[in-house]
A and B are shown apart, each in its own frame.
Chain A
Amino acid sequence: MNSGTMPQAAASDAPRGAADAEELSAWLDGELEDPAAEPVLAGLLRQPHLGRQFETWCLVGDALRSGEVLAGHSPRLCARINAALADEPALLSPSALRPRTKRHLASGFAVAAAAAVLVFVAVPQLRGTDAPAVATALAGSGAAPAAGTPVAPAAAAPAGPEAVASLAAVRPARDPRLDPYLRAHRDFMGAGVMPAAAVYLRSGNEGER
């Protein structure tokens, strides 16, 4: 545990590293009791890989909550948080007082999940150029803009819940060449289970051009 600065520690640390990550995860959840938490904090401050792990989880959690927080993220911020942790020897929370249940999560699982989230939160910033794929693959909103269709400004680059709103704001296709087909289709589609009024409104401003 005290070999954080030794290069050869990396390989032999692999099993221990996974356990450490699990401990760190538990601590973040407030599931470690006081005495158990202390070595985790100590390890966090000493071991670079745990520091990176912590940073990733910070980033993921913040990204989920707020794009603004994510935008403010930087290694320096994480360093400040790490430094602050040095002044916070124990985290007390009601859940920490409860008996800890056995943890099953492999840290690799968590990392994979974290990567998935990071991929996602990066997407809104790309949507200016790759909006159709974004809208189709991620939002599932069915909003696939035609090439050249104006899309929502990418500048704000929100993430987390806000990202959903902005992805949904990607404009759906409005190729006027489709209007005659939609109108003719309307004749027979009735409404599916959607009310007929929805069918009329679906066609947007067709007939107006």
Chain B
Amino acid sequence: MTHGGNPRRGGLRAVAVWAGRHGTPARAWPGSRTLAWSGCAALFLLGAPPLVRATDPPRDVHGDAAWLKNVQDAARRQSFSGTIIYQRGDEMHASRVVQLFDGVESRERVLTLDGQQREFIRKGEEVQCLYPKLHRVVIDHGGARSFPAFAQPLPDDVLSYYDLRRSGSERVANRPCDVVELVPRDHLRYGYRLCVEPTSGLLFKAQTLNEHGAVLEQVAFTDIHVGEPIDPAQLRPSWSTAGWTVDQQQSQATQLSEQGWSVTPPGGFHRLAEVMRHLIGVGDPAPRSALQAVYSDGLATVSVFIEPGAPMLEEPAESQRRGPVTAISRQVGDARVTVVGEVPPATAQSFAASVVHAPPNH
């Protein structure tokens, strides 16, 4: 016998415990010391909920909201430079990130270090995406987006949809960080696990977790320098963009109802914006127009695109996912409806199913 009994039984045991948590009453396993590594593997394999849950401290909603706000503010008002790693599925990318806050406005440069060369230069709210291989610049005039900020000012009720749990500390980029979990209170959204460096208030690591606690995507600094002088030259693009093709991402505010459309978002998602915009597609002879309605619960954001008259997709109902981003398309009348958001597929489907064409009465 070279196998030994304990690891084997540890595996069974772990599975049984997992099963017990999902329907069958959990049994008190004697001898749980034999929860060997293979048992942990079984839990991991089965996508079990995280083993360690912070015990709920007395809830301090005001303190939690203040904490989130502080992280958000720090992201805008700190100057730093560092290297971040982004990982999703089998993909991993490293980028160089520099941010300079001059007291009024923050500027940022993100330079990819692997794969195709790309650079993102942000000044205030405007972002230039540089694709040197194509000699192309895409200019976004988007909303709040400074690294590593939250999506937008947090709605006061974000803590109505997520529990904030403090879960000890973890070392990231050679600094001790406070670990905070944002645990969704329903199945409409994913959870997040954040590591925040307490001195600067900066987000050093962030993970998006599915309902089983599995990591869908994560990003972390591997090294970072905060508060050190930054040479503005570090914010200049690597290439002159003279002569490059310039695509402007343009959008105009509108109202879906004026266009005869209505969307009913699932619980907790509030309308952020309704715009008419150009979509710059691959191989499109000209930008095409689409209605875009944007919803957020304060952490996750969902866009609903409506394109009247657009040709039907080959797989209109197919749901695709890239890490936490779900995309789903369906046909409503003669319009193509596409939902994109960092939410579980069922949530995206709920958005898509709620789209109704209701021509206004004139």
Complex interface bits, B36-75 against A, C-beta within 8 A gives 1, otherwise 0: 0011011011110000000000000000000000000000
- Asked whether, in the complex, the Cβ of A29 is within 8 Å of the Cβ of B5, the reply is yes
- Asked whether, in the complex, the Cβ of A189 is within 8 Å of the Cβ of B303, the reply is yes
Closest to B137 in A: A207
- Asked whether, in the complex, the Cβ of A195 is within 8 Å of the Cβ of B147, the reply is yes
Is A156 on the interface with B (CB-CB < 8 A)?
Answer: no
Closest to B131 in A: A207
Chain A residues positioned under 8 Å from B97 (CB to CB):
197
- Asked whether, in the complex, the Cβ of B320 is within 8 Å of the Cβ of A184, the reply is no
Closest to A30 in B: B5
Chain B residues positioned under 8 Å from A198 (CB to CB):
84, 86, 206, 217, 219
Is A1 on the interface with B (CB-CB < 8 A)?
Answer: no
- Asked whether, in the complex, the Cβ of A61 is within 8 Å of the Cβ of B38, the reply is yes
| Contact of A179 (CB < 8 Å), options: B41, B217, B281, B321 | B281
Chain B residues positioned under 8 Å from A175 (CB to CB):
320, 327
Number of interface residues of B (CB under 8 A): 110
A57 to B24, CA, bound (A): 21
Known contacts A143-B321, A187-B143, A201-B95; is-contact A172 B327 (Cβ 8 Å): no
Closest to B133 in A: A208
Chain B residues positioned under 8 Å from A109 (CB to CB):
16, 19, 24, 27
8 Å CB interface, B257-300 against A: 272-273, 277, 279-282, 284, 290, 292, 294, 299-300
Chain A residues positioned under 8 Å from B86 (CB to CB):
197-198, 201-202
- Asked whether, in the complex, the Cβ of A57 is within 8 Å of the Cβ of B12, the reply is yes
- Asked whether, in the complex, the Cβ of B45 is within 8 Å of the Cβ of A120, the reply is yes
| Contact of B136 (CB < 8 Å), options: A176, A177, A207 | A207
- Asked whether, in the complex, the Cβ of A193 is within 8 Å of the Cβ of B8, the reply is no
The total number of A-B Cβ pairs within 8 Å is 319
The smallest C-beta distance from A90 to any residue of chain B, in angstroms, reads: 12
Chain B residues positioned under 8 Å from A178 (CB to CB):
320, 327, 338, 340
Chain B residues positioned under 8 Å from A117 (CB to CB):
11-12, 15, 42, 45
Chain B residues positioned under 8 Å from A160 (CB to CB):
38, 41, 45
- Asked whether, in the complex, the Cβ of A181 is within 8 Å of the Cβ of B327, the reply is yes
Chain B residues positioned under 8 Å from A103 (CB to CB):
30
Number of interface residues of A (CB under 8 A): 87
Chain A residues positioned under 8 Å from B30 (CB to CB):
31, 101-104
- Asked whether, in the complex, the Cβ of A91 is within 8 Å of the Cβ of B5, the reply is yes
The smallest C-beta distance from B83 to any residue of chain A, in angstroms, reads: 10
Count chain B CB atoms within 10 A of each CB in A105, A193, A195 and give the residue with the most: A193
Chain A residues positioned under 8 Å from B223 (CB to CB):
none
- Asked whether, in the complex, the Cβ of B11 is within 8 Å of the Cβ of A64, the reply is yes
Known contacts A177-B313, A183-B280; is-contact A141 B133 (Cβ 8 Å): no
Is B142 on the interface with A (CB-CB < 8 A)?
Answer: yes
- Asked whether, in the complex, the Cβ of B12 is within 8 Å of the Cβ of A195, the reply is no
Known contacts A120-B45, A202-B88; is-contact A105 B29 (Cβ 8 Å): yes
- Asked whether, in the complex, the Cβ of A95 is within 8 Å of the Cβ of B31, the reply is yes
Is B144 on the interface with A (CB-CB < 8 A)?
Answer: yes
A173 to B143, CA, bound (A): 27
Complex interface bits, B179-213 against A, C-beta within 8 A gives 1, otherwise 0: 00010000000001010000000010010101110
- Asked whether, in the complex, the Cβ of B95 is within 8 Å of the Cβ of A197, the reply is yes
- Asked whether, in the complex, the Cβ of B89 is within 8 Å of the Cβ of A143, the reply is yes
Stretch at the interface among A4-12, A43-51, A163-171: A163-171
- Asked whether, in the complex, the Cβ of A164 is within 8 Å of the Cβ of B44, the reply is yes
Chain B residues positioned under 8 Å from A25 (CB to CB):
9, 12
Chain A residues positioned under 8 Å from B211 (CB to CB):
140
- Asked whether, in the complex, the Cβ of A202 is within 8 Å of the Cβ of B194, the reply is no
Known contacts A173-B321, A182-B340; is-contact A194 B134 (Cβ 8 Å): no
Complex interface bits, B239-258 against A, C-beta within 8 A gives 1, otherwise 0: 00000000001010000000
Chain A residues positioned under 8 Å from B210 (CB to CB):
140, 142
Chain B residues positioned under 8 Å from A133 (CB to CB):
none
A102 to B27, CA, bound (A): 12
Complex interface bits, B1-42 against A, C-beta within 8 A gives 1, otherwise 0: 101011111011001100100001001111101100011011
- Asked whether, in the complex, the Cβ of B8 is within 8 Å of the Cβ of A61, the reply is yes
Known contacts A95-B31, A140-B47; is-contact A196 B147 (Cβ 8 Å): yes
Residues of chain A whose beta carbon lies under 8 Å from any beta carbon of chain B: 25, 27-31, 57-58, 60-62, 64-65, 81, 84-85, 88, 91, 93, 95, 101-105, 109-110, 112-114, 116-117, 120, 136, 138-144, 146-147, 160-161, 163-164, 168-202, 204-205, 207-209
Given contacts A120-B46, A184-B303, A191-B147, 11 further A-B contacts (CB under 8 A): A168-B90, A181-B327, A189-B342, A190-B145, A192-B151, A192-B301, A195-B203, A196-B145, A197-B95, A197-B147, A202-B86
- List the 8 shortest-distance A-B pairs measured between CB atoms, nearest first: A61-B8, A195-B148, A190-B151, A187-B142, A28-B5, A173-B320, A140-B214, A180-B279
Q: List 6 A-B contacts (CB under 8 A).
A: A31-B30, A62-B8, A173-B327, A184-B277, A188-B142, A207-B134
